[in-house]
Structure 1
Amino acid sequence: MPLKASGALAALIASTTLLFTGCATQAPSRAPVQETVRPSNTTATPADTAPAVETDDVEIEDDLDEDGDDDLELAGASTTNWPDPQTDLWSQIRDGFELDGYGKRYRVRRWTQQFATHQHDLQASLDRAQPFLWHIVQRIDERGLPTELALLPIVESGYDPSARSYMGASGLWQFMPGTADHMGLSRDWWYDGRNDVIASTDAALSYLDDLHRRYGGDWLLALAAYNAGPGRVDAALARAQREDPDASYWDLELPLETTEYVPKLLALRRIMFAPERFGFEWPTLDNTPRTRAVELPSQTEVAVAARMLNMSEQDLRRLNPALQRWASAPGSGATLLVPAGKADAFKKALANASPNALVQRSTHTYTVRRGDVLGSIAARYNMSVAALRQANHLRGDRIRVGQKLTVPRAGEPGKPAPVAEPAETYIVQNGDSLWEIAQRYNVDVTAMRSSNPGVSASLRPGQKLTIPGSASPPAPSTHIVRNGDSLWEIADANDVTVADLRRWNRLEPNTRLQPGQSIAVDGPAPLPDFYEVETGDSLWSIAARFSMQVTTLRSLNDMSSGSTIRPGQRLRLQPMSSS
């Protein structure tokens, strides 16, 4: 029978966007990590529509909300002939269930129907799990944990190791950066351990095990704390136990996401217990590894490894989304997850390959010389300053003569950087602007800013500015915006902050990125020749954005003091070049 549209159900359905989000993986109180409930990737569970109908005649009432499960009832009604757990991985998971089913709880039964309705989404998650599931089940079994935990990545990420939430959680287990750091998942320019299936699984299971002990063996509280953070669960439990010393997870007042999080997992367990009752055909999966981890002897380019494995680079990256760049990090110790049938041959090929053969853009050691700056070295090797800084674990741009730098993608160096003429000092006069001074000395505003850290658009008379030599600064590396890109993602990928990107690209807080737009990612973008006026712009705001005086802007565009501007108008920012 259909689910009755009671008041409680109406409230649940009205909250559908939040209901179908996953985990806020937060660190326990042993580390000072901020605890916030944060939705994870929305592919974890299907989009909410009308409630599903169970295939039997069980009517779900609002008042059917009590402890206890219906496992025996489900088992008695089950007609599924499950394979031997020794030969089938899903059977091993089902055979290792330890949690109470709580099938008489209203939210569990409702989520059972939701998953049963959206079978395509559930099946997609099970398909994505295939390359990774054996590794996860093995680790759960080694720790003696409930095998229901192997279903948790369905709730978290839809078993997508590259999943990323809009709040910054990432990976199968949707770790936030702070919790990842606390649990020992390394993150740098080359690698993000949150997207490493094996490393993140080890971290997630350790965290869940810690929480399980923290709450005296109560898995429901541990799971709630994995989602909301233990501080929030502790506070909710304390409030509930003041009213009833025997209060349990079901009595806690928690954020809606967490209220639905645990029932989602229990609903998946319920469907797996008797899938045919809910009209679902659970797949079989050989209980053998589909992928194997192979240690790399040295830095290895992903494209080179893909050729050695006779597979596409795209497919190899799908198995290894932790690799953030074109290659593994310099040095040895990194691992690649590869198809199990190709692992042995790949190991032999790696053993017979020289380090130079594994990286076409081989690493190179550069000795800093007098007059070098990171920008000139990066330009010489056609790479970004951010990449050079990250490869050498530099927090800033300070380098010294004789210092050895690792250039992570050096081949033959390009043309030497132009030698700059000696810098000189300029005393700001009344009415000067940074733009006018740059034009006067035939240097770029970007170079002026680099030579005068902290300088603002408003100069004061008497202020001393360093005029850089005639050599043009290296052009900043850029990112071409694609559909779905955000400033946060671009900043995270280039190891800079969103504030840096806004400042370098002169972006207002409400600026929308457009596909095809070029974003400077390691230094100020060059001053454009033209600017297209947007709604809300004024001559003053445009002049301030580009470090020039309003009078200069008017002069460049032959505008009188009474002239107005309109959205869509193109304003010249650079003088016309003389031919």
Structure 2
Amino acid sequence: MLKKIFGLSCKNTCKYICLFCVLFSLAACSTKKSKEDLLDLERKAGYNNVDDIVFVPDLPDDDETPLSAIDKQVLGTGSELGQPISDEDWKDVVLHYKYFTRKKRDSFDRFIERGELWLPHIRKIFKDNNVPEEIAYLAIVESGFNPTAVSRVGATGVWQFMPYTGTKYGLTQNAWIDERRDTYKATKAAAAYLTKLYGDFGNWFLAIAAYNAGEGKISRALEGTGGADNFFDLSRKNYMLQGKTQLKDETKQYVPRFIAVSKIMKNLDLLGFKKPNPNAALKTETIEVKGGTDLVGLAKSMGMRWEDFAFLNPAFRRQISHPRELNTVYILSEGKDKALAFLERQESRAFAGWKDYTVKKGESVASLSKKFSVPVLMLKKVNPNLSDRPKAGTIVMVPSSKAALRETLDVTPAFEASSKSKKDKTRTIAEINTKGRFYTVSSGDTLYSLSRAWGTTPDLVRKANKMRDDELIRIGQRLVIPGDVELPDNYEVPPVTRKKTLKSEQESSSKTKKIETVKKQDKQEPAVKENKKKDKQTTNANSELKTNNTTKNKSYTIVKGDTLYSLARKNKTTTDAILKLNNFKSANDIKIGRNIKIPQ
């Protein structure tokens, strides 16, 4: 199976073996469990590469060195699988044993380190399902305990499930999640599959061979050889089979490789390997998240980096959970209360009203932005790996309606391209809209798509930015987002002409280099300029506070459909002003039936 997973041409073998050694030599010496050290575990486990680069020949060459007394003792260790092996069949087992204890000893060290995180969980699940715990070591043969390992044929995760088999045993796979990478769920699926195979063949070695080759392949091979007694008998009689019914060398060596690995794992002390720390397994808890949950926000609520969260939850393929399904999330016990509190807040499901959209031929991010009235930056934030010109068939997350987009804008952190200020990170787009803040134009944005997203008109955007009627926006241009806007009920966005769109794209492209130069110059501004900016901000803040203190207020009872943003826009005020006047912490305090004060 390892060759299937890590298969490489002979031409590239040397190159990848060297790369493997470099990667694996970077490991730290100790295992840690705190959330601050999760990335250390990730680097140590070698998960940064999706494909774990290890070349294992079907049958390793003999290094011609004799077995020591310790080697013979290790190879003589008993097995709970309880099947005798002839001296002839032991030859292949010995070759794999030598390969992992000598030539690839450093690789095996890495497998052991990875096993610290997962082996206790795997053993418990196997024990609960009456699968011999010794078969837990099959995960080394499959993937070296790497949850993100992907084979050249698409087998994925610690247990290397193919898509069909994974689905058959309950592992969900879609554009949002791949549960083959969820080691807990995949191990339960592997236990169920192995139990089924044992029931088919009545022999664990044949069941293990079928895990590699498929039950159909082993069944046909047994039938073609007249009913071999066991796996090794079947392997010896392989010459009796014709064409595709013959076992591949990979399968013939799969069981001997497993036996060798099992012998090594049972005798780590004797062989001088470092034994796994039984207390190193991550102590996690599971919580259920509803559709459209902001996983980045969930991670931040627990004080975790996204990389740490993804390490615990490698099954998620996006930073947002499936809009219409419940999903399991693994968290460290210490963060559970904060996580549950976050999930109660409105902003935790900012994208619940969004949906999957399949990109059609010829569509681009720019055209999608126009089609769904979503700023380009938001599309790219929600779909992190989205290219400017995605291939037809690409699944993209978009708002299902204008109402869904507006709900997202009310509670989602602003998508400000050039902002590096930590001060702005928690402001919502709704707050920025009503306060006349700034937005940096991205590729594909148009005046019309932006004005739609901001709930204003192109004319008001032009007016706020002192633009001529025929002036077009440019990539990198900082636009003032007009606030205090009240639109007429019958307002319709003017149609976009093809001529203007093309001209805008051409003009945007020609300005890119100049903008990049300006950005570099901005970064090199002296500290004096920053201090002046801070003084100005302080003055403005004091002025605003003074104004708020002298403003008349009116009383209002919140009704269904009201949002912080809609109230601010309707009353020609700002979201900040409403929050301050009522001593509210966030938009979550806007609740139906609540009586609030609104500044006039």
Compute the TM-score of the two structures, normalised by the length of structure 2. Answer: 0.49
Structure 2 regions of 5+ residues with no counterpart? Answer: 1-9, 18-49, 239-245, 358-366, 387-392, 413-428, 431-444, 452-496, 506-600
Please say if 1:318 is aligned against 2:311: yes
Question: Match of 1:192?
Answer: 178
1:204: Cα distance to partner? 1.5
Largest Rg, 1 or 2: 2
Choose which of 127, 130, 142 in structure 2 pairs with 1:141. 127
Q: Give the partner amino acid of 2:266.
A: F
Letter of the aligned partner of 1:376 in structure 2?
A: K
2:150 to 164, 167, 170: 164
- 1:483-531 CA distances to partner (integer Å, 9 max, x unpaired)? xxxxxxxxxxxxxxxxxxxxxxxxxxxxxxxxxxxxxxxxxxxxxxxxx
Q: C-alpha separation between the residues in 1 aligned to 2:150 and 2:346?
A: 33
Deviation string, structure 1 residues 428-466 (Cα, Å, up to 9, x no partner): xxxxxxxxxxxxxxxxxxxxxxxxxxxxxxxxxxxxxxx
Shift of 1:122: 0.9
Identical counterparts, % of pairs? 23
> 1:282, CA displacement in angstroms?
4.6
- More helix by proportion, 1 or 2? 2
- Is contact 1:171-1:195 (8 Å) kept? yes
C-alpha displacement at 1:234, in angstroms? 1.6
1 CA distance for matches of 2:260 and 2:406?
51
- Per the alignment, residue 182 of structure 1 pairs with 168
- Go from structure 1 to structure 2 and tell me whether the alpha carbon gap of 1:58 and 1:395 turns closer, same or farther (over 3 Å shift): closer
Change (3 A) 1:103 1:470: farther
Residue 273 (structure 2) pairs with residue 281 (structure 1): yes
Partner of 2:91: 106
SS at match of 1:131: helix
Would the aligned equivalents of 2:302 and 2:338 in 1 still touch at CA under 8 Å? Answer: no
Aligned pair in 2 of structure 1 residues 355, 228: CA closer, same or farther (>3 Å)? same
Structure with greater contact order relative to length (CA < 8 Å, sep ≥ 6): 1
Q: Secondary structure at the match of 2:329?
A: strand
Q: Give runs of aligned pairs for residues 233-248 of structure 1, distance below 5 A.
A: 233-241=218-226, 248=233
8 Å contact from structure 1 (residues 102, 266) kept in 2: no
CA contact (8 A) 2:143 2:157 kept: yes
* Aligned partner (choices 180, 188, 191) of residue 205 of structure 1: 191
CA contact (8 A) 1:45 1:122 kept: no
Alpha-carbon distance in 2 for matches of 1:213, 1:158: 27
Deviations 1:134-183 (A, max 9, x none): 22111101011111221111111111101111221111111122222222
Counterpart secondary structure, 2:225: helix
- Identify which range, 198-207 or 268-277, moves more after superposition: 268-277
> Which residue matches 1:350?
339
Instruction: Describe the shift of the 1:365–1:227 C-alpha distance in structure 2 as closer, same or farther (beyond 3 A).
Output: closer
Report how far residue 409 of structure 1 moved.
7.2
Amino acid at match of 2:93: V
Amino acid in the other structure paired with 1:291: K
Q: How does 1:96-495 map to 2 (within 5 A)?
A: 97-100=80-83, 102=85, 104=87, 105-117=90-102, 118-215=104-201, 217-241=202-226, 248-251=233-236, 252=238, 253-276=246-269, 279-286=271-278, 289-298=281-290, 299-330=292-323, 333-339=326-332, 343=333, 345-356=334-345, 359=348, 362-364=351-353, 376-378=370-372, 380-382=374-376, 383=379, 411=412, 412=429, 416-417=448-449, 472=501
RMSD: 4.8
Q: Is the 8 A contact 1:125 1:158 kept in 2?
A: yes
Q: 243-252 or 193-202, which moves further after superposition? A: 243-252
Would the aligned equivalents of 1:52 and 1:116 in 2 still touch at CA under 8 Å? no
Residues 468-497 of structure 1 deviation map (CA, whole Å, 9 limit, x = unaligned):
95574999xxxxxxxxxxxxxxxxxxxxxx
What do the CA deviations read for 1:42-75 (whole angstroms, capped 9, x no partner)? 6467676763846515999xxxxxxxxx879447
| Cα distance in structure 1, aligned partners of 2:327 and 2:405 | 18
Q: Does the C-alpha gap of structure 1 residues 301 and 325 become closer, same or farther in structure 2, counting only changes over 3 Å?
A: same
Instruction: State whether residues 160 and 172 of structure 1, in contact with CA within 8 Å, keep that contact through their aligned partners in structure 2.
Output: yes
Offset, 1:378: 4.3
The answer as to whether partners of 1:375 and 1:385 remain within 8 angstroms in 2 is: no
CA distance in 2, matches of 1:315, 1:49: 40
- Residues 261-281 of structure 1: CA distance to partner in whole angstroms, max 9, x if unpaired? 11111101112333455x332
Amino acid at match of 1:380: V
Letter in 2 for 1:281: F
* Paired AA for residue 278 in structure 2: D
Matches of 1:154 and 1:223, distance apart in 2: 13
Q: Could you list the per-position Cα deviations for residues 21-49 of structure 1 after superposition, in whole angstroms to 9, with x for gaps in the alignment? A: xxxxxxxxxxxxxxxxxxx9664676767
CA–CA separation in structure 1 for the residues paired with 2:84 and 2:111: 21
Write the distance in 1 (CA, Å) between the matches of 2:64 and 2:347. 53
Distance 1:52 1:121 in 2: 21
* Aligned 8 A contact 2:62 2:95 in 1: no
Give the SS at the match of 1:135. helix
Q: 1:264 and 1:333, CA in 2 relative to 1: closer, same or farther beyond 3 A?
A: same
User: d(CA) in 1 for partners of 2:450 and 2:302?
Assistant: 43
Q: How many angstroms apart in 1 are the aligned matches of 2:172 and 2:94?
A: 39
Pick closer, same or farther for the CA change 1:472–1:257 going to 2, 3 Å: farther
Aligned length: 351
Which 10-residue stretch deviates more, 105-114 or 348-357? 348-357
